[in-house]
Amino acid sequence: MNVKIEETWRQQVGGEFDKPYFLNLTRQVREEYGRYACYPPGHLVFNAFNLCPFERVRVVIIGQDPYHEAGQAMGLSFSVPEGIAMPPSLINIFKEIEADLGKPMPANGDLTRWADQGVLLLNATLTVRAHAANSHQQLGWTTFTDAAIKALSDHRENLVFMLWGGFARGKKYLIDTKKHMVLESVHPSPLSANRGGWFGNHQFSRCNAFLESKGLAPINW
């Protein structure tokens, strides 16, 4: 398989590309993109990996699947391109950052600036059909992204994994909690956040405190 993915990631997960599930996955994804509007654009499917090489990862934020409306998905969990209105979950993320760290709400929701600092913004499912949330969840993407999470847990140290909501928290079994920090929370979506547990959880300052305790630079959230 000639998958266009950053080379250090290819060294870690390239073995997945020739497995039967991945061959079936790529066939189904190609069929979906050929028949329906799907997101993100093909060249951005592996954007999270391409912007954040394996050895530069410091923080992992796990989302469920891409935004499913036109112009939103850019291959980074929770992120939308400049010029696109911020979804409610992303607004709540920035509200908590403002309360936690005193940083004002940014002008746009493009989180490329986080990826450039070593924040892997990983959706468990990397593609979606337009207007149909979780429509590609059963195609096999989670087997691949689980392998990526496991590779980080096994071959890196002192990472921070941010697990927001029940789906992301279900990935905790893949992570060696003796080597890494795991921060768990409810999801920042309004339905979950307004019930309590998102606002005031200080995830971002706790993440930076951990990184600094290991002699690593904090994230400029």
Distance from C-alpha of 47 to C-alpha of 213, rounded to nearest angstrom: 30
Instruction: Tell me which of 65, 116, 146, 176 is the catalytic residue.
Output: 65
Backbone angles phi, psi at 161, to 5 degrees: -105, 120
30 Cβ partners below 8 Å, 6+ apart?
A: none
Look up 176 and say whether it is catalytic.
Answer: no
Q: 137: closest CA among 115, 167, 162, 172?
A: 167
b/e map of 96-123 (b: 16 or more CB within 10 Å)? Answer: bbeebeeeeebeebbbbebbebbbbbbb
Q: Name the residues annotated as catalytic.
A: 65
